[in-house]
């Protein structure tokens, strides 16, 4: 079967995996919006909210971005370095969502 | 005895011989360490290996600040404490262990909780600060105080089977607020006492914090500034990721920051984070 | 008290409450640990945190084997020992520290060097073996003995500012000889006593070894078998690499291996590696 | 300047860096042999021996391979998994040479 979208490797950590049936690693195929010329982080967050987050979406998102205290890494780089919500994603990119820990 | 041995006593040469043999550490590294003072905030799961390795390696002055007493359910991970000290102040217990390992290190006991009211006074006495606390308001408070005092901060955290580590406000790198300008919702904050932690996980992160503190204090190697280590014990994955730089708009370390010592001392960290400095009294475990 | 609490005493429930709260560890993980026996070979830089964290976490029986005495120049990295034990057997000192942390763990003192002549006898008493030694012949000997006895081996090493970690002979994975069928030339072998080591580096590797031993003994997570962790303290790089699988032609664990208990006991590891079990008497440091 | 060969990232560890002026990381541009249709590990070892190893080559090589006790990793995988001396290398591959440690 031909992939109908962009293959992305998702990784939820620091407790965020509890929002996705306690599974940390997800290989997902994200369909492009009609007319879009590529996938950006903003689209991916919408897709995750609709398709992956099973409970308490407010623990993952706030407005159209992630909630405070969540670091987003695209290919092991802070998404602030690549454009935040506008970061362009390519086939086989890895996106990590990690909740900051405070325990000790 | 050559000029480069200046400052090292014969006992130091013997005790630290394995350090002195290292070309990239050597006499200079040991001398730098012996002149450095490091404050460990928290004598718990992270603080245990941090304080023990810093004492063992010969840092000049080691401060430990903590207001808690040792409890039996600390001992599965807080290896600096022994059963004999259950009920005693953690700082007293930790200092005794450090002294037994290395009586040549000056260990300063701060037997009180670090708060905005005493942090400036305590932290200003040290060159490097290590955050080994277990709660969110302390993390903001310690980072803010490090910016105000212009001290490097080695920050670690562990919960469940995961750990995180980075160095803040070092060499132009970001502070905690650059990364997390807004605190998470209170419901997202978990503590070891609520959610559990595998004892050796803070052990691993604490040892890595001790290493970063040694690197900063002795001016060797490349500290983990602008990078963060993420550790997942279950899968055995470790990744080191690149973080954003210092934010020019940061409320505390930014270019137009109005955050002064006075702001710091009157800042209400519990209200800011909607989260308490101290967990509610330990409830019994419900199985 | 439900059926799942069976086997955990009220004191255990209190002491290990932070473990029991972990969904992926919990009561089963703690019960598995409490029934497991683990042998730590070497009470030095690696063995210090290994033994302390294994005692703290509640392993059922902890064996420690080492024939050396504590020396002052061990204390910069061997945090299980204190100044008061300089000159005493390392095993006695290590056992005392473990007992002080957790008196409910059975600690067995093997106050002798592990050699081909006593290894079968000692190692056969344990479920999991942890290699925390500092020399090449011991590493071949312990791996061979683990294959002969069919025990998993958690192996760590540290030198200078680098460390390495893997699990051998576990779940169909390779043994030490699969990776290194031929020993390196003797001139390529360095020891901490020759080349130095930054004290906290074996601390980090030792904590990671304790974690792997806990994972194997409690059957949780994915142990580091067929993978190796490589740590570089100076640059702060950690990488986990994929190793070859078990070699069908391995002299010891291969399909047609003729390596038996008898072969093992008469094998001359010092001659094989051209390297001694014990370093020559510690020479003074020449600066 | 156009690269005239294959760019490889080399990493020497576990003491092997002492054989290359104590430098662990080397970005090198390895020329292909005339008529060769690609670079393999065997060629790279020759190239390293000629161009990088400044002293005691016997501490790095034995015959036409590495000496016993050295692990070779191509893109974080043991070279035994990719064909040992015949492993094909591509532009920007990373090759790590690491001497096994025995200290503790
Ligand atoms: Zn800032
Ligand atoms: Zn084998």
Q: Please, what are the domains in chain D?
A: 5-99 (3.10.20.30)
pLDDT number for residue C6: 67
Beta strands A5-13 and A25-31: pairing type?
Answer: antiparallel
Mean pLDDT calculated for residue range B46-63: 98
Is the model more confident about D58 or about B103? B103
* Cβ-based burial of C285 (10 A; exposed 0-12, middle 13-18, buried ≥19): middle
Q: What is the pTM of this model?
A: 0.96
| Residues bordering ligand 2, an ion, CB closer than 5 Å | C 175, 177-178, 250, 253
For chain D, the C-alpha Rg in angstroms (whole number) is: 13
Residue of C nearest to B222 (CA): C235
pLDDT, tens digit, for every residue of C224-233?
999 999 999 9
Please give the distance, rounded to the nearest whole angstrom, from the Cα atom of residue D77 to the centre of ligand 1: 39
Judged against a pLDDT cut of 50, whether residue B286 lies above it is answered with no
Average pLDDT over residues B47-72: 98
User: What b/e sequence results for C113-134 when a residue is b if at least 16 CB atoms lie within 10 Å of its CB, and e otherwise?
Assistant: bbbbeebeebbeebbbbbbbbb
**Ligand 2 centroid to residue C245 C-alpha, Å:** 9
**Would you call B242 helix, strand, or coil by DSSP?**
strand
Q: How confident is the model at residue A51 (pLDDT cuts 50, 70, 90)?
A: very high
Question: Which pLDDT does position C11 carry in this prediction?
Answer: 93
Distance C169 CA to ligand 2 centre (A): 8
Average pLDDT, chain D: 92
Compute the average pLDDT of residues B17-30. 94
Is B195 within 8 Å of chain C by CB?
A: yes
Q: In chain C, what residues touch D14 (CB-CB under 8 Å)?
A: 159, 162, 164
What percent of chain C has pLDDT above 90?
89
User: Per-residue pLDDT averaged across A54-67, rounded?
Assistant: 91
Distance C235 CA to ligand 2 centre (A): 32
> pLDDT per residue over A23-46, tens digit each?
999 999 999 888 888 999 999 999
Compute the count of residue pairs across chains C and D with CB atoms less than 8 Å apart: 102
d(CA B165, CA B208): 8
Q: Does C121 touch chain B (CB under 8 A)?
A: no
CB < 8 Å to C135, chain D? 102
What's the confidence (pLDDT) of residue A35?
A: 82
Instruction: State yes or no: pLDDT of B215 exceeds 70.
Output: yes
Give the containing element (helix H, strand E) for C11. Answer: helix C10-15
The CA–CA distances, whole Å, from B240 to B56, B231, C66, C235 equal 27, 9, 36, 11
| Whole-number Å distance between alpha carbons of B216 and B54 | 12
Going by C-alpha positions, the residue among B134, B153, B154 that lies closest to residue B252 is B153
C148-192 per-position pLDDT tens digit: 999 999 999 999 999 999 999 999 999 999 999 999 988 776 666
Going from the C-alpha of B45 to that of each of B49, C7, D60, the distances in angstroms are 8, 26, 42
Closest chain C C-alpha to B128 CA, distance in angstroms: 17
Nearest CA to C34 among C186, C254, C286, C218? C218
CB pairs under 8 A between A and B: 102
Test C76 with B57 for CB contact under 8 angstroms: yes
Q: Which chains touch A (3 or more CB pairs under 8 A)?
A: B
Cα separation, C262 vs C253, in Å, equals 15
pLDDT of residue C194: 73
Model confidence at C283, in pLDDT bands (50, 70, 90)? very low
Six token digits for residue B187: 């419901």
What pLDDT does residue C191 have? Answer: 65
Cβ B195–C21 below 8 Å, yes or no? yes
Q: What is the pLDDT of residue B195?
A: 82
| A35–chain B Cβ distance below 8 A for any pair | no
pLDDT confidence of residue A1: 45
Rounded to whole angstroms, what are the CA distances from A32 to A10, A91, B131, B272? 17, 12, 44, 40
The pLDDT of residue B161 is above 50: yes
- Tell whether A102 lies on the interface with B, counting CB pairs under 8 A: yes
| Whole-angstrom distance, CA of residue C209 vs CA of residue C199 | 16
* pLDDT higher at D33 or C237: C237
| Predicted local distance difference test score (pLDDT) of residue B187 | 77
* The two structure tokens encoding residue C265: 């006991």
Contacting residues of B for A14, CB less than 8 Å apart: 159, 162, 164
Query: What's chain A's length in residues?
Result: 104
pLDDT, residue C38, reads 98
Indicate if the pLDDT at residue B285 is higher than 50. Answer: no
Question: pLDDT band at B191, cuts 50/70/90?
Answer: low
* Share of residues in chain A with pLDDT > 70 (%): 96
What pLDDT is recorded for position C186? 81
A and D interact (at least 3 Cβ pairs within 8 A): no
Residues A11, A24: Cα–Cα separation, whole Å: 5
Instruction: Tell me how far apart the alpha carbons of residues C264 and C119 are, in angstroms, rounded to a whole number.
Output: 9
For C15, nearest residue in chain B (alpha carbons): B73
What is the percentage of chain B residues whose pLDDT exceeds 70? 93
Residue B279 — very low, low, confident or very high, per pLDDT cuts 50/70/90?
low
Query: Ligand 2 centre from C168 Cα, in Å?
Result: 9
CA torsion, ordered B213, B214, B219, B220, to nearest 10 deg: -120
Mean pLDDT of C19-32: 95
What are the CA-CA distances from residue D15 to residues C71, C187, C242, C283, D50 (Å)?
A: 26, 12, 21, 22, 19
What pLDDT band is residue B280 in, cutting at 50, 70 and 90?
low
For B218-239, letters b (16+ CB in 10 Å) and e give bebbebbbbbbbbbbbbebbbb
The pLDDT of C138-150, averaged and rounded, is 98
- Give residue B281's pLDDT: 43
- Judging contacts by C-beta atoms under 8 Å, the chain C residues touching residue D71 are 179, 228
pLDDT above 60: residue C284:
no
pLDDT, residue B5, reads 59
**pLDDT above 90 covers what percent of chain B?**
89
Sign of CA dihedral B10, B12, B15, B21: negative
Q: What is the pLDDT of residue C189?
A: 66
Strand, helix or coil for residue C190: coil
Give the helix/strand (H/E) hosting B144: helix B136-149
Helix, strand, coil shares, percent, chain A, to 5 = 25, 35, 40
pLDDT band at D36 (very low <50, low <70, confident <90, very high): confident
Q: What's the CA-to-centroid distance between B144 and ligand 1, angstroms?
A: 8
Nearest to B236 among C77, C195, C240 (CB): C240
Task: Give the position of tokens 């490797």.
Answer: A9
Q: Which of residues 79-118 of B touch C (CB under 8 A)?
A: 79, 81-84, 100-103
- Taking the alpha carbons at both ends of chain A, their separation in whole angstroms is 47
| Mean pLDDT, rounded, for B149-169 | 97
Is the pLDDT assigned to residue D28 strictly greater than 50? yes
Calculate mean pLDDT across residues B195-210. 96
| C59-91 b/e (C-beta count within 10 Å ≥ 16 → b) | bbbbbbbbbbbbbebbbbbbbbbbeebeeebbb
Query: Which pLDDT score is estimated for D32?
Result: 87
Q: Is the pLDDT at C265 greater than 50, yes or no?
A: yes
Report the distance separating Cα B53 and Cα C204, nearest Å.
10
Question: Using one digit for the tens of pLDDT, what is the confidence trace for C150-159?
Answer: 999 999 999 9
Ligand at minimal distance from the CA of B143 is 1
């Amino acid at each position: 079967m031909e992939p109908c979208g962009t293959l992305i490797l998702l990784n939820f950590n620091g407790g965020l995996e509890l929002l996705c049936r306690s599974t940390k690693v997800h290989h997902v195929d994200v369909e492009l919006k009609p007319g879009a010329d590529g996938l950006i982080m903003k689209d991916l967050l919408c897709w995750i909210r609709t398709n992956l987050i099973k409970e308490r979406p407010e623990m993952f998102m706030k407005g159209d971005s992630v909630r405070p205290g969540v670091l987003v890494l695209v290919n092991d780089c802070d998404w602030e370095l690549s454009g935040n919500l506008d970061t362009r994603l390519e086939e086989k990119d890895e996106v990590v969502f990690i909740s900051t820990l405070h325990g000790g | 005895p050559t000029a480069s041995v200046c400052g090292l006593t014969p006992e130091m040469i013997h005790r630290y011989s394995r350090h002195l043999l290292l070309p990239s550490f050597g006499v200079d590294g040991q001398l730098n360490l012996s002149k450095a003072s490091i404050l460990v905030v928290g004598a718990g799961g992270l603080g245990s290996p941090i304080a023990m390795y810093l004492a063992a390696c010969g840092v000049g002055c080691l401060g430990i600040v903590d207001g808690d007493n040792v409890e039996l359910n600390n001992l599965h991970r807080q290896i600096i404490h022994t059963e004999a000290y259950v009920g005693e102040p953690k700082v007293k217990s930790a200092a005794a262990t450090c002294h037994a390992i290395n009586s040549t290190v000056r260990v300063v006991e701060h037997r009180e909780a670090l708060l905005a009211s005493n942090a400036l006074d305590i932290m200003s006495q040290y060159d490097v600060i290590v955050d080994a606390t277990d709660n969110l308001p302390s993390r903001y408070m310690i980072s803010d105080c490090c910016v105000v005092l212009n001290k490097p901060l080695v920050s670690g955290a562990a919960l469940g089977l995961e750990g995180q580590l980075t160095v803040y406000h070092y060499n132009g790198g970001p502070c905690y607020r650059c990364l997390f300008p807004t605190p998470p919702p209170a419901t997202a904050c978990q503590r070891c006492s609520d959610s559990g932690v595998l004892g050796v996980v803070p052990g691993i992160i604490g040892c890595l914090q001790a290493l970063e503190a040694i690197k900063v204090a002795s001016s060797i190697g490349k500290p983990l500034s602008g990078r963060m280590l993420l550790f997942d014990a279950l899968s055995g994955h470790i990744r080191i990721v690149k973080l954003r730089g210092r934010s020019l708009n940061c409320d505390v370390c930014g270019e137009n920051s109005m955050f002064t010592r006075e702001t710091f001392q009157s800042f209400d960290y519990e209200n800011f984070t909607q989260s308490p400095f101290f967990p509610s009294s330990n409830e019994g475990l419900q199985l």
